[in-house]
């Protein structure tokens, strides 16, 4: 290595030519990269647009009021009312169980947990359940609820299995929403002599409501579209006509009972595809898929919109 200044590395105190018209290779590479990266954005929009367009077109002649409120038929196009009912039913049941659990768990992780072995174990458990394939979660539900507890295929087994599936995400989203509440608000409450739980109940949770609501709606969207978990827990039957006037929830014939098999929209699509009987299969599935996507879209956009609305009302008040 040299130890003195050499001419090769003299400072350029003087001039070194115009700044214009330098088309070096690196600038070309930069332009090419920019074009490619824009291309990825356009690609996503293109794919999504075509999917939505495809289903809009495919479902055009199929989806109608009759389709939504009618019963499945083997001889004509029929409808999907019982199946749609099952999807909503299982969704509500699942949310009723997993949302309180998730929010409570989120409160613990956000407000009480310190970095110790238990917290680490909880996080590891969270990550593990979310990595387990949904079919395996369904199989677990199969062993535990359907076989060992002898419930057979039923909506309750499906809802509980979906709770297992949904819990990690619900907990994590709740934790995030709660953590986002600023420290100042908590300090103010504690400085006024409130206990920790009072602070959580009256200050932190109310302020976190927009984020919590968004989390609930987002997870609801995921649950609504889930099929693998339900295949072996709530069953793959062929729903018949439901008598909604039968309010006896212990009676498996009543659509209000959780103790009966319940085929949901997503499962129905898969079932029709694998059995493929009947001349109207294609249309029924296209229509069902269109409705499924629309519901998910509504959930998704609704979550964002509602979250924004609530935040605005909260901070403006």
Instruction: Name which of residues 252 to 311 contact other proteins (CB under 8 A).
Output: 266-267, 269-270, 273, 282, 285-286, 289, 292-293, 296-297, 299-301, 304
DSSP state at residue 8: G
CA distances from 198 to 34, 100, 105 (A): 52, 18, 17
Is 66 within 8 Å of 132 (Cβ atoms)?
A: no
For 191, phi and psi rounded to 5 degrees?
A: -65, -20
Q: Please say whether the dihedral angle defined by the alpha carbons of residues 105, 110, 113 and 117, taken in this order, is positive or negative.
A: positive
Options 66, 73, 195, 246; binder of other proteins; rule CB under 8 A: 195
- Stretch of 10-18, 73-81, 240-248, 308-316 contacting other proteins, by CB under 8 A: 10-18
Angle at 144 between CA 142 and CA 147, to 5 degrees: 65
For 158, phi and psi rounded to 5 degrees?
A: -60, -45
- 5: contact with other proteins by CB under 8 A: yes
Q: 196-229: buried (b, 16+ CB within 10 Å) or exposed (e) per residue?
A: eeebbeebbbebbebbbbbbbbbbbbbbbbbbbb
User: In the bound complex, what is the minimum distance in angstroms from residue 269's beta carbon to other proteins?
Assistant: 5
- Stretch of 167-175, 182-190, 239-247, 255-263 contacting other proteins, by CB under 8 A: 167-175
- 193: contact with other proteins by CB under 8 A: no
Binding to other proteins (CB under 8 A): which residues in 13-42? 13-16, 18-22, 24-27, 29-30, 32-34, 36-41
Binding to other proteins (CB under 8 A): which residues in 98-127? 101, 104-105, 107-109, 111-113, 118, 121-122, 124-127
CB of 216 or CB of 257, closer to other proteins: 216
User: In the bound complex, what is the minimum distance in angstroms from residue 60's beta carbon to other proteins?
Assistant: 15
Options 90, 162, 167, 284; binder of other proteins; rule CB under 8 A: 167
User: In the bound complex, what is the minimum distance in angstroms from residue 299's beta carbon to other proteins?
Assistant: 7
User: In the bound complex, what is the minimum distance in angstroms from residue 260's beta carbon to other proteins?
Assistant: 18
Binding to other proteins (CB under 8 A): which residues in 220-249? 221-222, 224-228, 231-232, 236
Residue 102, token pair as written in the block:
């998730």
Angle between helices 281-316 and 265-275 (to 10 degrees): 160
């Amino acid at each position: 290595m040299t130890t003195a200044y050499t001419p090769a590395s003299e400072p350029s105190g003087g001039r070194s030519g115009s700044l214009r018209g330098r088309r070096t290779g690196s600038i070309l590479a930069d332009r090419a990269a920019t074009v490619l990266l824009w291309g990825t954005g356009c690609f996503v929009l293109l794919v999504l647009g075509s999917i939505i367009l495809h289903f809009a077109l495919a479902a055009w002649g199929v989806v109608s009021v009759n389709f939504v409120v009618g019963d499945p038929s083997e001889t004509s196009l029929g409808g999907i009312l019982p199946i749609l009912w099952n999807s909503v039913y299982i969704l509500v049941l699942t949310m009723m169980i997993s949302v309180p659990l998730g929010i409570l768990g989120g409160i613990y992780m956000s407000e009480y947990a310190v970095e110790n072995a238990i917290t680490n174990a909880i996080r590891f458990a969270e990550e593990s359940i979310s990595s387990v394939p949904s079919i395996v979660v369904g199989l677990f539900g199969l062993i535990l609820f359907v076989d060992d507890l002898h419930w057979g295929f039923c909506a309750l087994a499906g809802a509980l299995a979906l709770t297992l599936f949904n819990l990690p995400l619900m907990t994590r989203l709740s934790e995030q929403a709660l953590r986002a509440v600023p420290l100042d608000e908590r300090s103010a409450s504690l400085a006024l002599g409130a206990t920790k739980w009072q602070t959580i109940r009256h200050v932190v949770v109310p302020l976190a409501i927009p984020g919590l609501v968004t989390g609930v709606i987002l997870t609801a969207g995921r649950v609504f579209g889930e099929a693998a978990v339900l295949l072996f827990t709530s069953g793959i039957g062929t729903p018949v006509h439901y008598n909604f006037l039968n309010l006896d929830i212990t009676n498996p014939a009543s659509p209000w009972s959780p103790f009966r098999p319940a085929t949901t929209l997503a499962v129905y699509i898969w079932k029709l595809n694998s059995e493929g009987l009947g001349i109207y299969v294609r249309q029924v599935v296209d229509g069902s898929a269109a409705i499924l996507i629309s519901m998910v879209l509504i959930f998704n956009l609704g979550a964002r919109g509602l979250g924004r609305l609530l935040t605005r009302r909260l901070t403006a008040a």
